[in-house]
Amino acid sequence: MSKLERIKELVELLNRAGKSYYAEGTEIMSNFQYDTLYDELKKLEEETGYVLSNSPTVNVGYEVLSELPKERHESPMLSLDKTKDRETLKSWLGEQPGLLSWKLDGLTIVLTYEEGELSKAVTRGNGEIGEIITNNARVFANVPVTIPYKGKLVIRGEAIITYSDFERINRQIPEADAKYKNPRNLCSGSVRQLNNKITKERNVNFFAFNLVSADGVDFNNSRKQQFEWLKQQGFGVVEYKEVNKNNILDTIDWFENNIKTNDFPSDGLVILYDDIEYGNSLGRTAKFPRNSMAFKWSDETASTILRKIEWSASRTGLINPVAIFDTVELEGTQVSRASVHNISIMEDMKLGIGDEILVFKANMIIPQIAENITRSGNMEIPKICPVCGGATRIEESNEVKSLYCTNPDCQAKHIKGFAHFVSRDAMNIDGLSEATLERFIQNGFIKRKVDLYHIDRFKDEIISMEGFGEKSYNNLIDAINKSRKTNLVRIVYGLGIDNVGLSNAKMIVKHLDNDPNRIMNVTSEELVGIDGVGKVIADSIVSFFDNEEKCREYTDILSEVTLEEEDTSQNNNILEGKTFVITGNVNHFPNRNALKNLIESMGGKVTGSVTGNTSYLINNDAMSNSTKNKTASKLGVPVITEVEFLEIAGIDNLT
């Protein structure tokens, strides 16, 4: 292949990877691969003098694709030239004083203030045209809406989401393939929302890194004074250090030592001249300004041997490949596994068992495969799901191939059913989060709910699992054994029968005299005769026990437990016959669902709308003009606070 042909190939490949990453939120290659190919392309262009018009070395960004309004920047937002060599950075600085700061990995934003108020916020977009996101910027966690300075101010900075917020948000997403891949992707989607309520919930932060203009303010020709002035106006400013030719290398070491404990994503450093006029006098190239430069970490890599690909099934059917290799030390920690993300990346690297691979930590945090040296390509894509044995299928979307399980009854797709079974109001098995259940299912430890009562068969495997030692295992076994003493209500509720809530389970079990056998043969007509049980609920129960497999699991669960009658003493049924509606914020409960569960446990009902049958509307704001309050007033339904409810329920405290 000639150099010109290789240039064309690299341009096409890098543009496709860039579009996937920036515009579609997917990855077809690692950052390490992208940088390696980019450097190869740049070198070839310099050698041949041949540069394509759509080369990523001359194009700044990608076209924006949302419905947000667009605006052209007053001056192009250029990217930065970069190096991984410390001596190159020192040589670039020369005799000039400079500022060295984090290169934050988020979304670049331009903020404009006029007469002391935020008037406009625009994304970087493709460097020439950005998206107007003013309403979203107003709800960033740390952006001032008004500032003391009354002239026109234009600043640039990076919107980011911290690692802790990234993990918090991902924990709230049950589907593995719906989780965000990294904080940058999450931030990009959060900043560009059409509904700024979502932006606010994501806790986006903004850190200024460049003061473009501030009418009438003298900064004594110093970038440092600009940063300090921005701090006085109330802005978050990217953390920086003053450097010169004598201390720059030590300062780089300081940043490198501190990145490991940062809660914010950073993919390198930025250096700029403190002397504003000197920096501006240097001008710019077609793509880069000459007054600043980026420094990217030389990723620490380690050679190891790929031992297997672990196929991890999720509740949506997606089966992700995870590379398992001989343990190596990277950035001070032991690493033995790395996500490969999808089949496209696996095929591009030609991964195979026994291959020698180079691994690294992206941004010094996330383990990834940098390169496959052997490239045997002997890896076979599994034709059956590792969890259920059902057939798999390869699907392609946006040029990315992924593997899916086609079996609708795959256990991995029913994590929520297992989680419901072990929940507090059901079998109450502490220590079994959805994430833990998912790992147990993926490893084949549990296929049916009743298998939880024989989890001790996999003691050695569980103890050796990451984050799950002997103490955690023993606590889990204790919780499982404790759950063996239970009542029929908990079991019926825990089965997850469609439309059967806790209060329904109580009424049905009570009507059937706590007889575990009667529910398997009860008719729809008999169930409908129970006050509060309609035909939909009745049909769901009959249908459930008509299913031979589900009925067998129910009897198997019964064989593992000792049934006790539910405690109906004291206040347990004090709310029987009363119907409640809950609205507004709650103060004495973690959420409204907790209050609902308490009411149902005491025999009451909770509905969503105020009607003539409503006994009480619970709302801590009795003077609210909400629709529910107005309806309650018209119908003569009492509006009570949580405290008043607790008095009615006869509860002195909630401990």
Q: Is 611 helix (H, G, I), strand (E, B) or coil?
A: coil
Rounded distance between C-alpha atoms, residue 573 and residue 43, angstroms: 79
Is 506 among the catalytic positions? Answer: no
Dihedral over Cα of 595, 596, 601, 606: its sign: positive
User: Residue 195: exposed, middle, or buried by beta-carbon count in 10 A (0-12, 13-18, 19+)?
Assistant: exposed
Q: Which amino acid is at 19?
A: K
Stretch (H or E) spanning 315: none
Classify each residue of 39-61 as buried b or exposed e, where b means 16 or more C-beta atoms within 10 Å of its C-beta.
eebeebbeeeeebbeebbbebbb
List 356's β-bridge partners, or say none. 305
Which stretches of 512-615 are assigned E, i.e. beta strand?
562-563, 579-582, 605-607
- Pairing state of beta strands 205-214 and 153-160? antiparallel
> Residue 509, Cβ neighbours under 10 Å: how many?
23
Q: Which residues contact 481 (CB under 8 A, 6 or more apart)?
A: none
Enclosing H/E stretch for 649 = helix 642-649
Q: Residue 85 and residue 76: Cα distance in Å, rounded? A: 27
- CB-CB contact of 294 with 82 (8 Å): yes
Tell which residue, 50, 98, 475, has the closest CA to residue 251.
98
**Catalytic annotation, pick one of 82, 103, 605, 628:** 103
DSSP three-state, residue 455:
helix
* The total number of residues written for the chain in this structure: 655
> How many angstroms separate the CA atoms of 182 and 381, rounded?
26
The two tokens of residue 379 are: 């890896």
Are the C-beta atoms of 376 and 306 separated by less than 8 Å? no
Q: What is the DSSP letter of 544?
A: H
Could you tell me if 214 and 151 are in contact, meaning their C-beta atoms sit under 8 angstroms apart?
yes
Which tokens belong to 184?
A: 């940058």
- Who's near 228: CB < 8 A, 6+ residues apart? none
DSSP of 238-305 = --EEEE-TTTHHHHHHHHHHHGGG-SS-EEEEEEEESBHHHHHHT-B-SS-BSSEEEE------EEEE
310 three-class SS: strand
Strand 605-607 with 579-582, pairing? parallel
Beta bridge partners of 100: 241, 271
Tell me which H or E stretch contains 589: none
Are residues 270 and 209 in contact, defined by beta-carbon separation less than 8 angstroms? Answer: yes
Q: Which two tokens stand for residue 197?
A: 């309520």
Please give the Cα distance from 375 to 384 (Å, whole number). Answer: 25
- Two structure tokens written together for 603: 């025999």
Question: Which residues are the active-site residues?
Answer: 103
